[in-house]
Amino acid sequence: QSALTQPPSASGSPGQSVTISCTGTSSDIGSNNYVSWYQQHPGKAPKLMIYEVSKRPSGVPDRFSGSKSGNTASLTVSGLQAEDEADYYCTSYAGTNNFVFGTGTKVTVL
Amino acid sequence: QVHLVQSGTEVKKPGASVKVSCKASGYTFTDYYMHWVRQAPGQGLEWMGWINLNTGDTNYAQNFQGWVTMTRDTSISTAYMEVSRLTFDDTAVYYCARDIGNWGFDYWGQGTLVTVSS
């Protein structure tokens, strides 16, 4: 199973929005709604930000939103804040009990 | 409150095995699946597989079949992940993560650094 494709980096100024794409195939993202997004700060464990494409766990700010179209999922961070600077990973169920991570995107707040 | 606490840093020689533990608290252990994920230094996250904490059934990612074993001890609410025949490429931080039921991992352990060095 190949990793989902994400841009290596993305950036925005405080208050702006940034959108990260996550491209898979019809065998993973395109075949189900089990797409999640994780935020990881250096030296820390990942944190769940979005699950089932667009749902936010309790405690995650509504500045974070997710969507999907075809084989591509997206995470949008609105109203960027300094603490949003981190690595972000998408994930997807890939059928037959398999699972795949994205390549990761480093978000920089300028 | 849910907590996943992993065992400490390990240093192993090539060819050895390592067993990492993940002790859960704050919820009914057997109600969830547990996944294991690893992250090599400076690299991305890599899914290794899952274990059904109720039945003990497992499923491993293709890259880990045959040399990774996931088990659990329900009496002490602890999951284990063992990697055999370690190589230098297995140097990584290994995480356990609880599946909320739809392939979303809501709680993670703090990570266990495994260093393979001769």
Best mutation site among B46, B63, B70, B105 for testing chain A: the one with the most A CBs within 10 Å? B105
- How long is chain B? 118
For residue A83, count other CB atoms closer than 10 A to its CB: 10
Per-residue burial over A54-73, b if 16 or more Cβ lie within 10 Å, else e, is bebeeebeeebbbebeebbb
Q: Which of A40, A48, A93 sits opposite B106 (nearest CB)?
A: A48
Residue A46 to residue B95, Cβ atoms within 8 A: yes
DSSP chain A: -PPBB--SEEEE-TT--EEEEEE--TTTGGG-S-EEEEEE-TTS--EEEEBTTTB--TT--TTEEEEEETTEEEEEE-S--GGG-EEEEEEEE-STT-EEEB--EEEEE-
The SS3 assignment for B50 reads strand
pLDDT bucket at A95, cuts 50 / 70 / 90: confident
Q: How confident is the model at residue B102 (pLDDT cuts 50, 70, 90)?
A: confident
Does pLDDT of A98 surpass 90? no
Q: Please indicate if any CB of chain B lies within 8 Å of the CB of A86.
A: no
Shortest alpha-carbon distance between residue A40 and chain B (Å): 10
Nearest CA in chain B to A93: B103
In this complex, the residue of A46, A93, A102 whose CB is nearest that of residue B103 is: A93
Rg over alpha carbons for chain B, rounded to the nearest Å, is 13
pLDDT tens-place string over residues B16-72: 999 999 999 999 999 999 999 999 999 999 999 999 999 999 999 999 999 999 999
At A2, the pLDDT band (50, 70, 90 cuts) reads confident
